[in-house]
A and B are shown apart, each in its own frame.
Chain A
Amino acid sequence: MSGILLMVRRSLRQHALSTSITLLSVALATGLVMSVFGIQKQSYDAFTGGAIGYDAVLGAKGSQLQLVLNTVFHLETSPGNIPYTLYQQMNDDPRVDLAIPYAMGDNYFGFRIVGTTPEMFTEFEYQEGKKYQIGEEGRAFEAGYAEAVLGSVVAEQTGLKVGDHFHPTHGLKDDDLSHDHDEEYTVVGVMEPTNTPNDRVAWIPIEGIYWMGGHVLRGDGEHYTPEGGTAIPDKHKEVSAVMLNFKNPKTGFDLNMAINNQGKEATLAYPIATVMADLFNKVGWANRILEVVAYLVVVVSAAAILASIYNTINERRREFAILRALGARKVTVFTAIVMESAAIATIGSLLGFVVYGIIMYCAAIVVREQTGVVIDPFSIHPMVWITPLGMIGIGALAGVIPALKAYGTDVAENLIPHS
């Protein structure tokens, strides 16, 4: 075995350039496959089972998926508003543990401004036992005041801090068509990072949304333009959604039947994880294509191993003949070539972890930037060990063809000419 290992080491060193290029292709292939599966799994877990904190979302009649994306992940456009009275109904329902209204329509440098109630900070738990924490110098806003609490990412990227003032921009996106509101808000608190999409939100009292210049309310179907600082009759108020937690899961199914199947006024997205899982199931074909592409890259890198070793066999025939003359058996030469191939796959796979780490790290940054969802770049999933082992197996298999060629080397013919 020591002879085989010496042969493998020396061959890798002698063909350093082709070995390096092949190692790179194996590393990229391994890293790519692990990343494709890693990102898929991490995204799925983050979007379906992450720190959502709510059991259900009540919103305008329409798509449950759009409702969840808009309110939980702050991604899609709003499907519309529902009357404030629906929020009141939910809040008064003894089966409902917590009902928090969301009112949306403005942003600050692309970050959403969500109008809500102080319960968001005093009652809501985004993970079991975890409520939003506000940094030492800050506090939660007071209802009815032009005050804002910023998510950690908003504060980090806009540079706003406690005591600073800002003007909300109309619309959910910061584009050329939007305009700044005259109302000025004071930052009274910055949330500690939660690694949830809510880190990308600026929270203000729900009345602030109503009083924002140019906003029109249609809670009872008629247009109503509120005046800043004056009380608004509940019948005119609207909310974009009501975030709900139930005392019992059965309530969710009962409300689902009552609202989605029998009602015409609103949509209940319940359970949120199932709604998101449906999304992943619908785009599953895209994941399959990505997987196939990743597998093809593995095949190409295996072919690269095969080609790089195969091309050296002719120049190494004399070496094999000498080794055979020294007593190396045919199977020893065969094994050395297969092990050389497997060694390239092994070293390449180890380097693949570096590629994997880089891809996952970058992906985590992009996903967090775009969605606020945090994926763990270094979480362990089965493909993290299946892929390198598979690559090593395929690599060894790729070595069989050149090994057979080496196996058949005629010793006398390649050693010395007949005298």
Chain B
Amino acid sequence: MATLDIQQLKKSYESPDGDTNTIVDIESFSMDENTQLALKGSSGSGKTTFLNLIAGILTPDSGSVQLGGDNLAQMSESKRDLLRAKHIGFVFQTFNLLHGYTALENVLLGMMFGPGPNPAYAKELLDRVGLSDRMNYRPRQLSVGQQQRVAVARALANKPSLVLADEPTGNLDVHHARESLALIREICRENNASLLLVSHDPTIVGDFDDSLDFSELNKAAHVSIPSGEGR
């Protein structure tokens, strides 16, 4: 069964000079369970918009996004929020940790709006990313690499079926970027979560078995990322 199924998805923006720019125009795209795909593309190509459409943060001009069989376009905003809370994990380039909250609370926030708080699991995740001794630290008290790991733990806190990673290594040096990427991929596999990662960095994208240039995805008639068993 496809974790993610997208059909005829379109999203346009009106530029300041009044022109309409179609930034996302995808005919057909799907990802099976437990798959990992990297999308590369230059800045402004529409990668982030694409992720926001999948997450239900943005609504498409037309087309459908189905997540686990549920069509986001037919849902009310609150149901989309709930779906996102239960089934999607987000890792951001800037981590987007909440600075007033401890590392543990940041991870707990990742589950509070979906399955509900589970401090034991949150601690287990932080332990898994090597931060068992930093749980009560605030983001500003952590190194950039440690912040990234908190963000990863938070993205997986709700046991999502799909993890969306938007330039997750963009703020890290090469060494930490590779280490962090390996961690994200490993934890996604452990949790049976599919991973859709976007990055402009060819070395990051090159680590994936499945990768696509976002501009190609926008042009392609049909793109399907089957699970390992399906290939």
B216 → A minimal CB distance (Å): 16
Contacts of A324 in B (CB 8 A): 57, 81
Q: Indicate if the CB atoms of A416 and B92 lie closer than 8 Å.
A: yes
Q: How far is the CB of B138 from chain A (nearest CB, A)?
A: 10
Chain A residues 299-354 with CB under 8 Å of chain B are 318-319, 322-332
If A416-B92, A416-B166, A419-B47 touch, whether A325 touches B55 (CB-CB below 8 Å) is yes
CB interface residues, B 151-170, toward A, < 8 Å: 154, 158, 166-167
Interface digits, B29-57 against A, CB 8 Å rule (1 contact, 0 not)?
A: 00000000000010111111100100101
B96 surroundings in chain A (CB, below 8 A): 318, 322, 325, 415-416
Q: Does B52 contact A412, Cβ atoms closer than 8 Å?
A: yes
> Once bound together, how far apart are the Cα atoms of A412 and B23, in whole Å?
15
Total CB contacts across the A-B interface at under 8 A: 100
Known A10-B105, A14-B100, A416-B94; judge A328-B47 contact (CB<8 A). no
Cβ of A371 under 8 Å from chain B: no
Dominant secondary structure at the A interface: helix
- Chain B residue total in the interface (Cβ 8 A): 45
Judge if B188 is at the interface, Cβ distance under 8 Å. Answer: no
Interface centre among A13, A322, A326, A331 (most CB of B within 10 A): A326
* In contact, B100 and A419 (Cβ under 8 angstroms): no
Cα distance A324–B55 in the bound complex, in angstroms: 11
Within 8 A of A (CB), among B85-114: 85-86, 88, 90, 92-94, 96, 98, 100-101, 105, 108-110, 112-114
Knowing A322-B96, A325-B84, A325-B96, say if A331 contacts B57 (CB, 8 Å).
no
A288 lies within 8 A of chain B by Cβ: no
Render A13-38 as a binary contact track against B, CB cut-off 8 A, 1 for contact.
Answer: 11000000000000000000000000
* Per-residue B-contact encoding for A393-419, CB less than 8 Å = 1, 0 else: 000000000000000000110011111
A328 to B55, CA, bound (A): 13
Task: State the CA gap A327–B93 with chains docked (Å).
Answer: 18
Q: Contact at B93–A13, with CB atoms within 8 Å?
A: no
Residue of A with least CB distance to B43: A419
Question: C-beta contact mask, B75-89 vs A, less than 8 Å → 1, else 0?
Answer: 001100110111010
Q: Which of A3, A13, A14, A325 has the most CB of B within 10 A?
A: A325
Q: Does B68 contact A (CB under 8 A)?
A: no
Answer whether A419 and B45 are a contact pair too, CB < 8 Å, given A10-B105, A14-B100, A329-B113: yes
Determine if B202 is an interface residue (Cβ-Cβ < 8 Å).
Answer: no
Within 8 Å CB of A11, what residues of B? 100
Q: B82 contacts which chain A residues (CB < 8 A)?
A: 327, 329
Q: Which residues of B contact A416 (CB under 8 A)?
A: 48, 92-94, 96, 166
Kindly list 6 other residue pairs between chains A and B, CB separation below 8 angstroms, not including A327-B114, A331-B78: A3-B113, A10-B100, A327-B113, A329-B78, A418-B13, A418-B48
Interface of A toward B, CB cutoff 8 Å: 2-3, 6, 10-11, 13-14, 318-319, 322-332, 411-412, 415-419
